[in-house]
Amino acid sequence: MSKIPGHEDSLCTDDSVEDGLQQESDELDASDIASIDPKNSSSDEGFEGFGFSNALLTTISSIGYKEPSPIQKAAFPDLMLGRDLVGQAQTGTGKTAAFALPLIERLQGASKRPQVLVLAPTRELALQVADSFREYAAGHTRIKIQAVYGGADFRSQITAFKRGVDVVVGTPGRVMDHIRQGTFDTTDLRSLVLDEADEMLRMGFIDDVEWILDQLPKERQLILFSATMPKEIRSLSKRYLNSPAEITIKSRSDDARLIRQRFLIIQNSFKLKALTRVLETVTGEGVIVFARTKAITLSVAESLETCGHDVAVLNGDVPQNQRERTIERLRKGSVNILVATDVAARGLDVDRIGLVINYDMPFDSEAYVHRIGRTGRAGRNGEAILFVTPRERRFVRSLENTVGQAIELMQIPSNSLINESRINRLRGRLVTSLAVGRDDEKEIALMQEMIETISSEKNVSEKELAFAALNLVVGPNSFLVHGDEGWLDQSSQQSRRTNYREDRFGQGGRRSARANRQPEEHMERFRVEVGHRDRVKPGNLVGAIANEAGLQGRMIGRIQIFESHSFVDLPKGMPKDIFENLKRLKVMNRELNIHRST
Ligand code: AMP
């Protein structure tokens, strides 16, 4: 999706720490597990006939699933028999239930040690899969499900393992740590699922996955799901899986588009912050952000640009010929994010759109269907995220009815999720660079020679040089996000401040009206590219500008701070050289890039 802004662009989100881990207190009760005879499964309809217990059938029906999806129909019989399975399927096909339901049914009551392990490439997916397991295990008392992932408190995970866990859902690194430390005892593991195996490969986890596979008991069931089947995944499956059943679910581009749909609850005034966070963590190809008005498209695009994204705008003011050029740029990937109004994006058909963000609620469900239909094209994976204000939340249900599919609630990505995503991307870039290498022999020789000479001249090891090279790639700004996350919770609460001026500026209407006043006679208004996002205070601007321009603080006029920029009133007739110096001046680690406000 979006070009992820380099960390060198620093953070367009606020900062801080986190984080809790998911725990579950459901307990397994052997009496809930009805006797299962999958061979008797014969029914063609519904979930009956696969040998599921009454408890599970009741849960499925209360969730509202009427028919198993194709992948579920294909997977249930083999998985209920404990067979290995390789499934090629994307998110949105119902693959989680395809493995979770049979695995829940096959859990045995006696052990305190984990019986099922699901490995997922990201923390977000791990949490989601753990949540699905909980939902599906609602009728089975005493099943304990534990999500383990990096960034979360290690000790509470250890405590959970000590208390007893049936199903572990985790990211490879953290799972490995627990196995190594002996906190995760694999003796009783009966089933292992590799979810989104190709993503794990892409993110450089494949060695960790193999290490984990090597720790499993000889008698175990292996299930592998992957959207694509690169040769590494094929060979892994050949080496580890035992005569697996094979299922391929092809996505159809028209009526059965596979679009994962989610929503997050957010007050208008926090939407921009939430958007930058979502764009850091949801990865894929091109992105379309839908906004309600032309003015919002402009302010969103401006803000994203400041964060280092390649953005284009499509609204009713964009003339036809430019519109076509913009779409072409999006198609080719020279622009990654398009911020558009509904009318302007009508009929837009670009295959590489991996994510649609409904920054504002669509006017009706038809518009919603049209918007999300810009992704998941040509059989590709698509994701749609809907920003919903607390008051709009009640409309989600009617959208779900229209699309005939659940729209899942998601959280605004936390610091640790963003950090995990940054670390994974960096790691992925490094691993890809290792694999891709370089074609030009001369250039290779040159680089190798450079490494050798520098390490002998400076008397440093190649490890130290590798660190320096990575440091260069990461850039001088903070690589990880820290700081206040208080607003993440606050931002989904009902707010009384909902007028439009607040939406755009995150400030009270009265204050905005005041801000619109023209500068005084002898003053000129300048715009600087630093704002609330950078935690700038008026004093920072006064101090920096006064020092650089040789002005006394009191000569600096009104200062208005907005999300990604600020306005400063300065005396007219500023000398050119001072102006040039001010442009390069950094405040809160960001260049002011000062220019006259028109
Ligand atoms: P997944 O591919 O596992 O991410 O699932 C995609 C979505 O389909 C989730 O929101 C599930 O709750 C939903 N889902 C899974 N199985 C069914 C089913 N048999 N009927 C209706 N919805 C389902």
Task: Give the tens place of pLDDT for each residue, 284-332.
Answer: 689 999 999 999 999 999 999 988 888 999 988 888 778 888 988 998 8
Residue 175 pLDDT exceeds 80: yes
To test the pocket of ligand 1, the residue of 59, 62, 71, 96 to mutate (highest count of ligand atoms within 8 Å of its CB) is 96
pLDDT digits (tens, 9 = 90+) for 262-277: 999 999 989 999 999 9
Spatial distance between the Cα atoms of 377 and 349, rounded to a whole number of angstroms: 8
Tell me what the mean pLDDT of segment 438-448 comes to.
91
Strands 221-226 vs 566-571: parallel, antiparallel or unpaired: unpaired
Q: Is residue 252 over pLDDT 60?
A: no
Higher pLDDT, 145 or 565: 145
For residue 589, give the CATH number of its domain.
3.30.70.330
Domain check: are 75 and 172 in the same one?
yes
| CA distances (Å), origin 8, targets 63, 251, 334, 478, 584 | 45, 38, 20, 8, 16
In-domain check, residue 8: no
pLDDT attached to residue 14? 39
6 burial (CB, 10 Å; 0-12 / 13-18 / 19+) is middle
The Å distance, Cα 53 to ligand 1 centre, comes to 20
Report the SS3 class of residue 550: coil
Q: Which atom of ligand 1 is nearest to the CA of 406?
A: 10
In a domain, 5, yes or no: no
- Split at pLDDT 50, 70, 90, the class of 42 is very low
Asked whether the predicted pLDDT for residue 438 surpasses 70, the reply is yes
Q: Are residues 21 and 102 in the same domain?
A: no
Tell the residue nearest (CA) to atom 13 of ligand 1: 94
User: Is 11's pLDDT higher than 90?
Assistant: no
91 CA from centroid of ligand 1 (Å)? 9
Beta bridge partners of residue 595, listed in sequence order:
527
For residue 565, which amino acid is it? Answer: H
Phi-psi group of 515: left, alpha or beta (phi > 0 → left; psi -120 to 50 → alpha; rest → beta): alpha
Does 59 lie in the same domain as 27? no
pLDDT value at 91 more than 70: no
Specify whether the CB–CB gap between 345 and 314 falls below 8 A. yes
The better pLDDT of the pair 503, 440 is held by 440
Query: Cα of 260 to ligand 1 centre, how many Å?
Result: 9
* Residue 285 counted as domain residue: yes
Tell me, what's the pLDDT at 102?
97
Q: Which of 162-166, 342-346, 382-386, 532-536 has the lowest mean pLDDT?
A: 342-346
Calpha distance 433→4 (Å, rounded): 17
Grade residue 18 by pLDDT with cuts at 50, 70 and 90.
very low
The last residue of a domain, from among 364, 395, 414: 414
Rounded distance from Cα 317 to ligand 1 centre (Å): 40
Closest C-alpha residue for ligand 1 atom 22? 65
Atom of ligand 1 nearest to the CA of 93: 2
| Residue 500 pLDDT | 29
Cβ of 65 closer than 6 Å to ligand 1, yes or no, is yes
Return the ligand 1 atom nearest residue 135 CA: 12
Specify if 483 maps to a domain: no
Helix intervals (H) in 291-394: 294-306, 320-332, 365-372
Helix, strand, coil percentages for the chain (3-state, nearest 5):
45, 15, 40
Give the model confidence (pLDDT) of 413-437 as tens digits: 989 899 998 998 899 889 888 888 7
Supply the pLDDT for residue 447. Answer: 93
* 303 Cβ below 6 A of ligand 1: no
190 has a pLDDT exceeding 50: yes
Each residue of 558-595: b (16+ CB within 10 Å) or e? Answer: ebbbbbbbbbbbbeeebeeeeeeebeebebbebebbbe
Task: State whether 510 and 532 are in the same domain.
Answer: yes
Relative to the CA of 260, which ligand 1 atom is closest?
6
* pLDDT band with cut points at 50, 70 and 90 for residue 378: low
- Alpha-helical (H) ranges within 197-314 are 197-202, 206-214, 231-240, 271-281, 294-306
Q: Which residue lies with its CA nearest to atom 6 of ligand 1? A: 92
- Between the CA of 66 and the centroid of ligand 1 the distance, in Å, is 11
**Average pLDDT taken over every residue of the chain:** 81
Report the pLDDT value the prediction gives residue 2, as an integer from 0 to 100: 34
Please give the pLDDT value at position 117: 98
Instruction: Decide which of 414, 442, 463 is a domain's last residue.
Output: 414
Domain co-membership, 409 together with 370: yes
Give the model's pLDDT for residue 24.
28
Q: What is the pLDDT of residue 30?
A: 29
- Residue 44: the pLDDT is 53
pTM: 0.45
> 92-141 pLDDT, tens per residue?
678 999 999 999 999 987 788 999 999 998 777 888 899 999 999 999 88
495: which 2 tokens? 């707010």
Tell whether the model's pLDDT for residue 12 goes beyond 60. Answer: no
Q: For ligand 1, is residue 93 a contact (CB within 6 Å)?
A: yes
C-alpha of residue 147 to centroid of ligand 1, in Å: 20
Ligand 1 centroid to residue 137 C-alpha, Å: 15
What pLDDT is stored for residue 174 in this prediction?
A: 92
Which ranges constitute the DSSP H helices of 108-153?
123-136
CA of 129 to the centre of ligand 1 (A): 11
- CATH number for the domain spanning 343: value is 3.40.50.300
The domain in which residue 353 lies consists of: 15-33+254-414
Mutate to test the pocket of ligand 1, among 45, 65, 131 (most ligand atoms within 8 A of CB): 65
The reply to whether ligand 1 has any atom less than 6 angstroms from the CB of 94 is: yes
From CA 141, how far away is CA 107, in angstroms rounded? 12
The pLDDT value recorded for residue 488 is 80
Instruction: Classify residue 159: in a domain, yes or no.
Output: yes
Q: What is the Å distance from ligand 1's center to 96 Cα?
A: 7
487 alpha carbon – ligand 1 mean position (Å)? 31
pLDDT at 242 over 90: yes
Nearest to 177 by CA among 144, 151, 196: 151
Which range is most confident: 355-359, 471-475, 479-483, 585-589?
355-359
Name the residue of 169, 405, 410 to mutate for ligand 1: max ligand atoms within 8 A of Cβ.
405
From CA 32, how far away is CA 295, in angstroms rounded? 57
Shared domain check, 243 and 126: yes
Average pLDDT score over residue span 138-147: 91
Kindly state the tokens that stand for 446: 């040159």
| 435 plus 406 within the same structural domain | no
10 Å Cβ neighbour count for 303?
A: 24
Q: Which residue has the higher pLDDT, 405 or 34?
A: 405
Out of 389, 414, 439, pick the residue that ends a domain.
Answer: 414
Spatial separation of the C-alpha atoms in residues 547 and 568, rounded to whole Å: 15
Place of tokens 């670390």: 423
Instruction: Please give the residue that has the higher pLDDT: either 587 or 145.
Output: 145
The answer to whether residue 202 scores a pLDDT higher than 90 is: no
Report d(CA 237, CA 222) in Å as an integer: 9
Could you tell me if the CB of 408 is within 6 A of ligand 1? Answer: yes
- Are 521 and 554 in the same domain? yes
Predicted local distance difference test score (pLDDT) of residue 3: 32
Mean pLDDT of 62-82: 93
SS3 label, residue 182: coil
Output the pLDDT for position 147: 94
Q: What is the pLDDT of residue 25?
A: 28
pLDDT over threshold 60, residue 241? yes
In the chain, the number of structural domains is 4
Please give the pLDDT value at position 40.
37
Lowest mean pLDDT among 133-147, 236-250, 519-533: 519-533
Q: Do 173 and 218 share a domain, yes or no? A: yes
pLDDT score, position 77: 96
**In this structure, is residue 490 part of a structural domain?**
no
CB distance 96 to ligand 1 below 6 Å: yes
Flag whether pLDDT at 577 surpasses 90: no
Distance 72 CA to ligand 1 centre (A): 10
Q: Which residues, at least 6 apart from 584, have a Cβ–Cβ distance to it below 8 Å? A: 591, 592
Q: Does any ligand 1 atom lie closer than 6 A to the CB of residue 87?
A: no
Which atom number of ligand 1 is nearest to the Cα of residue 91?
A: 2
What whole-number distance in Å separates Cα of residue 125 and Cα of residue 199? 11
Give the closest residue (by CA) to ligand 1 atom 10. Answer: 406
Closest CA to 175 of 135, 147, 203, 136: 147
* Cβ of residue 92 lying under 6 Å from some atom of ligand 1: yes
- Residue 381 CA to ligand 1 centre (angstroms): 15
Q: Are residues 92 and 180 in the same domain?
A: yes
Q: What radius of gyration, in Å, describes the C-alpha atoms of the chain?
A: 27
Q: Whose CA is nearest to atom 18 of ligand 1?
A: 65
Q: Atom of ligand 1 at shortest distance to CA of 63?
A: 12
What is the Cα–Cα distance from 311 to 511, expressed in whole angstroms?
Answer: 30
Q: Quick check: CB of 406 below 6 Å from ligand 1? A: yes
370 close to 346: Cβ distance less than 8 angstroms: yes
Q: Which range has highest mean pLDDT (53-62, 254-263, 544-553, 587-596)?
A: 53-62
Same domain, 229 and 277: no
Q: Which residues contact 534 (CB under 8 A, 6 or more apart)?
A: 587, 588, 589, 590
Q: Is 152 a domain residue?
A: yes
Q: Are residues 464 and 432 in the same domain?
A: yes
CA of 77 to the centre of ligand 1 (A): 18
Q: Is residue 3 part of a domain?
A: no
